[in-house]
């Protein structure tokens, strides 16, 4: 029988590298290997008790039916309120309300839908590197063209406004979307208000000539260290509200990764388009997860702050140990729960981070995520969303192995 041919839009789209690597780690563990797994992309906490209770209560109240496609009205209202509190400059003039919110299956679906709604074949989607590895793949699925913007570790992985301006000029009228992600996966870098204002200024200058949008992925907003404040893009650039989609969710903040709750906040016009798209793709998300999310959003910030303090302590622990190896270069993470390690000095000739991770796994029994699919082939990502003892063991093994 002739081989099956799948749709062209799938050609060149990669499977999620983190998921693939995790499967390999599980396999080795099942063979009895003592692997220290530093690949986790999710919190190691449980959701707050009140959130668990809310699900049980929703089951008892028989909340079994389809919900409205964009989400339960109260949930959408709470999301709008929370977004307003992070964007007070905008909220004073033009607060978001429930009609600006679509609740999706994770922030992932929200970003996917936004790209589907905005990008036509051949449109340029500008993505600063290192990037969350799904952005370019989702862009390809929307038949767009990922345009990678270089940043440098020695400049703290910060996107220079001049680089953005250059890329926008080069993409010309095909420039359609800029994706921003602060705090960042994989670097843990946090953009300051001044940095976001400067990038927003470039967007504003170029937007006149083309219909340019910003997708601001703020999924790690509640995890920032050293008392550094998180700044939402539209707090720094409220004048860009009509062309910005803010993405967020409860996966990282409330340790609800498997419950699949994320959202977009955008103009009513775009929200209507996203609602149409989601209505034909998945409908409203799981009703029980939505009731849980209502409870999660009503909890005081303090509950989540506790988790952040734990991550901060672990970051300090990891930096202290990894700092002993001259072969590891590190930009101090300011948020999220990842460290992005420059391992150029530990590579064999012709090797990139893929080969390095394979060797680290089989020789040091430490699982790391290669930086290549994040756009940084001489880096690896490690997570500190795991207990102190395991984290210590993993970092020490790595430092020892690199000797």
394: its two tokens: 């993993």
100 is a site residue for ligand PLP (CB under 6 A): no
When binding is defined by CB under 6 A, the residue of 181, 264, 278, 308 that contacts ligand PLP is 181
Cβ-based nearer residue to ligand PLP, 220 or 325? 220
Helix axes 134-141, 106-118, angle to 10 degrees: 40
Cβ-based nearer residue to ligand PLP, 185 or 293? 185
Nearest approach in angstroms of CB 39 to ligand PLP is: 12
Query: Applying CB under 6 A, what is the total number of residues that bind ligand PLP?
Result: 13
Nearest approach in angstroms of CB 108 to ligand PLP is: 3
Contact yes or no for 247/264 (Cβ under 8 A): yes
Nearest approach in angstroms of CB 133 to ligand PLP is: 9
Is 209 buried (19+), middle (13-18) or exposed (0-12) by CB count in 10 A?
exposed
393 is a site residue for ligand PLP (CB under 6 A): no
Distance of CA 41 to the CA centre of its chain: 10
Q: Considering only 89-97, 102-110, 162-170, 319-327, which stretch makes contact with ligand PLP by CB under 6 A?
A: 102-110
Cβ-based nearer residue to ligand PLP, 107 or 375? 107
Q: Considering only 166-174, 198-206, 249-257, 348-356, which stretch makes contact with ligand PLP by CB under 6 A?
A: 249-257
117: its two tokens: 């709604």
218 is a site residue for ligand PLP (CB under 6 A): no
Nearest approach in angstroms of CB 251 to ligand PLP is: 3
Nearest approach in angstroms of CB 63 to ligand PLP is: 22
Q: Considering only 85-93, 106-114, 119-127, 389-397, which stretch makes contact with ligand PLP by CB under 6 A?
A: 106-114
Cβ-based nearer residue to ligand PLP, 96 or 374? 374
Give me the residue whose beta carbon is nearest to ligand PLP. Answer: 106
What is the pairing mode between strands 366-367 and 101-104? unpaired
Q: Residues 47-76 vs ligand PLP: string with x where CB under 6 A? A: ------------------------------
Cβ-based nearer residue to ligand PLP, 176 or 253? 253
When binding is defined by CB under 6 A, the residue of 71, 107, 128, 144 that contacts ligand PLP is 107
When binding is defined by CB under 6 A, the residue of 47, 106, 238, 346 that contacts ligand PLP is 106
Selection from 189, 181, 250, 242 nearest residue 212 by Cα:
242
158: left (phi over 0), alpha (psi -120 to 50) or beta: beta
CA distance 257 to 15: 19
185 is a site residue for ligand PLP (CB under 6 A): yes
Selection from 180, 178, 175 nearest residue 123 by Cα:
175
Q: Considering only 7-15, 103-111, 154-162, 367-375, which stretch makes contact with ligand PLP by CB under 6 A?
A: 103-111
CA distance 15 to 338: 21
When binding is defined by CB under 6 A, the residue of 195, 217, 312, 334 that contacts ligand PLP is 217
Nearest approach in angstroms of CB 135 to ligand PLP is: 8
Selection from 263, 288, 267, 296 nearest residue 278 by Cα:
263
Angle at 339 between CA 337 and CA 340, to 5 degrees: 135
When binding is defined by CB under 6 A, the residue of 39, 40, 41, 376 that contacts ligand PLP is 41
Selection from 332, 326, 254, 334 nearest residue 55 by Cα:
254
Q: Return the number of other C-beta atoms located less than 10 Å from residue 73's C-beta.
A: 12
The single-letter DSSP state of residue 257 is G
372: its two tokens: 């290549």
CA distance 295 to 104: 17
CA distance 107 to 112: 9
When binding is defined by CB under 6 A, the residue of 16, 192, 257, 390 that contacts ligand PLP is 257
H or E element, residue 195: helix 193-207
Is 159 buried (19+), middle (13-18) or exposed (0-12) by CB count in 10 A?
buried
Residues 13-32 that bind ligand PLP (CB under 6 A): none
Residues 111-140 that bind ligand PLP (CB under 6 A): 132
Residues that bind ligand PLP (CB under 6 A): 41, 106-108, 132, 181, 185, 217, 219, 249, 251, 257, 262
């Amino acid at each position: 029988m002739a081989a099956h041919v799948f749709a062209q839009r799938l050609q060149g789209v990669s499977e999620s590298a983190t998921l693939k690597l995790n499967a390999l780690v599980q396999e080795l563990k099942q063979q009895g290997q003592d692997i220290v797994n530093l690949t986790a992309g999710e919190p190691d906490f449980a959701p707050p008790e009140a959130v668990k209770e809310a699900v049980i209560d929703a089951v008892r109240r028989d909340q079994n039916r389809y919900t409205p496609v964009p989400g339960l009205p109260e949930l959408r209202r709470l999301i709008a309120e929370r977004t307003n509190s992070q964007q007070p400059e905008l909220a004073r003039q033009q607060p978001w309300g429930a009609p600006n919110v679509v609740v999706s299956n994770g922030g992932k679906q929200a970003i996917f839908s936004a790209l589907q709604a905005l990008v036509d074949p051949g449109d340029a989607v500008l993505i600063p590197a290192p990037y969350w590895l799904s952005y370019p793949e989702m862009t390809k699925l929307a038949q767009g063209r990922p345009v990678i913007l270089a940043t440098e570790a020695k400049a703290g992985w910060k996107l220079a406004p001049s680089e953005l301006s250059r890329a926008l000029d080069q993409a010309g009228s095909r420039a359609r979307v800029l994706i921003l992600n602060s705090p960042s996966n994989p670097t843990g870098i946090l953009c300051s208000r001044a940095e976001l204002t400067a990038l927003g200024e470039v967007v504003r200058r170029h937007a006149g000539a083309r219909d340019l949008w910003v997708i601001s992925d703020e999924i790690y907003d509640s995890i920032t260290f050293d008392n550094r404040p998180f700044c939402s893009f539209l707090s720094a650039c409220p004048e860009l509200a009509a062309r910005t989609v803010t993405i967020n969710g409860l996966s990282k903040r409330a340790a609800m990764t498997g419950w699949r709750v994320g959202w977009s906040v955008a103009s009513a016009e775009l929200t209507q388009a996203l609602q149409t798209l989601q209505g034909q793709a998945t409908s409203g998300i799981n009703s029980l997860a939505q009731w849980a999310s209502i409870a999660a959003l009503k909890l005081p910030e303090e509950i989540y702050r506790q988790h952040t303090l734990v991550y901060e302590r672990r970051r300090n622990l990891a930096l202290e140990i990894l700092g002993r190896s001259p072969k590891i270069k590190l930009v101090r993470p300011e948020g999220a729960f990842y460290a992005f390690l420059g391992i150029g000095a530990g590579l064999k000739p012709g090797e990139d981070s893929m080969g390095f991770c394979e060797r680290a796994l089989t020789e040091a029994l430490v699982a790391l995520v290669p930086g290549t699919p994040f756009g940084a082939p001489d880096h690896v990502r490690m997570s500190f969303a795991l207990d102190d003892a395991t984290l210590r063991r993993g970092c020490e093994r790595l430092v020892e192995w690199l000797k």
